[in-house]
Amino acid sequence: MELWSLLTVVLVGVWSVGVLAFSLMRLPGWWHAKADAAWRADFTKAVTSVDRYQPILLVATIAITTWFASGMRGTTQILAVAALAGLVAVLVGSVAFLVPLQRRLMKEAPGDEAGKHRWITGHIGRTLVGSLAFAFVVLAVTL
């Protein structure tokens, strides 16, 4: 395995496993919790802590996956481009939908159950697409 292939797998893996770990640790409890002041404080603390590194890591992951895909051919390139498309979709969806929603949830009065469930559902989608992108990268590197 070449160094760039290894770096691609590691970077995509770190990002996607981080998103998955956050989902597994936080979402089950949040789904059933009432969107009150205590939930909002926990949500704000948790989201603020991961927002320090997650967006930068996602952009770096997109950059290295782009480089990796551009140097491949055939099935390997198709898998890498599929992973890249998923990562870009996560970035666009996060910026356009999840980030504005989470800012609103952190600042407005507690009680927005529908907003809470929309954010959780969106994060589950981000987790699934990120995990699929990681699987595509692993397949691309092992071919």
Backbone φ, ψ for residue 52 (5° rounding):
-75, -35
Residue-wise pLDDT for 34-89, tens only, equals 999 999 999 999 999 999 899 999 999 999 999 999 999 999 999 999 999 999 99
Range of the domain at 88: 3-142
How far CA 40 is from CA of 26, 34, 101, 120, 129, in Å, comes to 13, 9, 13, 13, 26
Q: How confident is the model at residue 33 (pLDDT cuts 50, 70, 90)?
A: very high
Residue-wise pLDDT for 92-107, tens only, equals 999 999 999 999 999 9
Two structure tokens written together for 89: 């979709």
Number of separate domains in the chain: 1
Q: How confident is the model at residue 108 (pLDDT cuts 50, 70, 90)?
A: confident
Q: Is residue 1 scored above 80 in pLDDT? A: no
Q: Is residue 10 scored above 70 in pLDDT? A: yes
Residue 72: the pLDDT is 92
Quote the DSSP letter at residue 109.
P
